[in-house]
Amino acid sequence: MGNSFKSAHFLMKSRWADAARGDADALYELGMAYSTGSGGVEVDLIEAHKWFNLAALNGSEAAMMCRADISDEMSAREIAEAQRQARAWLQATDQRRAA
């Protein structure tokens, strides 16, 4: 397990770096990882929603569909937390969009 875990961890780290630059594909892949439990992370629908939301903001239509799908499995409180975390990510990475 050691090597596969290491490579999964490296992949996730590189995805986070790309995501910080607003790469929609990286944001989407992080959403997929957290929604399916792949890439060495545990399933976390709040994290998945956050990443799908950020990918959708960067133009990913696939992320919009995935976000809608997992929203059906989440409470309103969980969705609100995911949205709060997405806003915090945008502020932290200075990717604010003119609304």
Q: How far is CA 91 from CA 8, 84, 88, in A?
A: 27, 11, 5
Q: What is the mean pLDDT of residues 16-33?
A: 92
Q: What is the pLDDT confidence band of residue 24, given thresholds at 50, 70 and 90?
A: very high
- 45-89 confidence digits (pLDDT tens): 999 999 999 999 999 999 999 999 999 999 999 999 999 999 999
Would you call 55 exposed, middle or buried from its count of C-beta atoms within 10 A (0-12, 13-18, 19+)?
A: buried
Question: In whole angstroms, what is the distance from residue 30 CA to residue 22 CA?
Answer: 12
Confidence (pLDDT) at 41: 86
pTM: 0.85
- 37-53 confidence digits (pLDDT tens): 987 889 999 999 999 99
Question: In whole angstroms, what is the distance from residue 7 CA to residue 14 CA?
Answer: 11
